Amino acid sequence: MKIIILAGSGISEDSGIPTYYNNSKNGLWNINDLNKICVKNKDRTNESFDFYNIFRFLLKTCKPNENHDIINNIQQKYENVKIYTFNIDELLESSNCKNVIHLHGKVNEIKCKKCLNIQNIDFQEIKLNHQYLYCNSDDSIRNNIIYYGEKCNYGSLINDIFELDENDILIYIGSSNNSFDLNQIIKPLKFNKILINPNLSTFNGDTKQYIIFDKLNESIFSCIDGIIKD
């Protein structure tokens, strides 16, 4: 039996990281016009570096929460658990999750646009014309994050999903991500779907095919065990 977990930005909100699209909880993201900062062709601007510098500063003090810990426990308890995330923070790794695949990049990495090398910078502040000990291409460094309008490679996720058979499980932890309509892809596929989404109004799949929780909690284990027994 295989389990794929796909985790969206909602899981990190309780750690103090606002989601991109949430208007209500935290003002930090709202005062920035993301459509001008995190978009294609704006990857080497002062605004873009400053925005993610704030994100890095914020992350320094953020700790994993129950969501990250439960995902880690699922990976510990069952074999063949693969974790994908849209999140650019590394709180899943901080919670001891292994081999997490970041579909939208990581906020603590920079990338050279020329040679495509990636370097971990932890929580360091990045400035446009600063010198970094790197590949000597300081004029080509950007955040290693997929910006709006940039091409994102969902290929390995989609391949993995298509390889699931009817005994396998996909756990989709609600995401406000609107760049990727997963529900359309998984709708006709015959595997067990566990959806965790506190706001079902954003969900456009057929609820009959899903086991639905509004929050990730310990009951997920009896749910998985029930599927395994059947």
**Smallest distance from Zn ion to CB 229, Å:** 52
Residue nearest Zn ion (C-beta atom):
112
Between 34 and 128, name the residue whose CB sits nearer to Zn ion. 128
**Smallest distance from Zn ion to CB 112, Å:** 3
**Smallest distance from Zn ion to CB 198, Å:** 42
The token pair at 176 is 């406000």
Which whole-number Å values give the CA distances from 185 to 8, 87, 131, 170, 220, in the listed order?
17, 20, 44, 12, 23
The token pair at 213 is 């929780």
Between 63 and 114, name the residue whose CB sits nearer to Zn ion. 114
**Smallest distance from Zn ion to CB 133, Å:** 12
Between 102 and 142, name the residue whose CB sits nearer to Zn ion. 142
Residue 174 contacts residue 10 (beta carbons within 8 Å): yes
Closest CA to 11 of 120, 80, 84, 116: 84
Between 91 and 112, name the residue whose CB sits nearer to Zn ion. 112
Residues of this chain that bind Zn ion (CB under 5 A): 112, 114-115, 135, 137
Residue 114 contacts residue 107 (beta carbons within 8 Å): no
d(CA 1, CA 228): 8
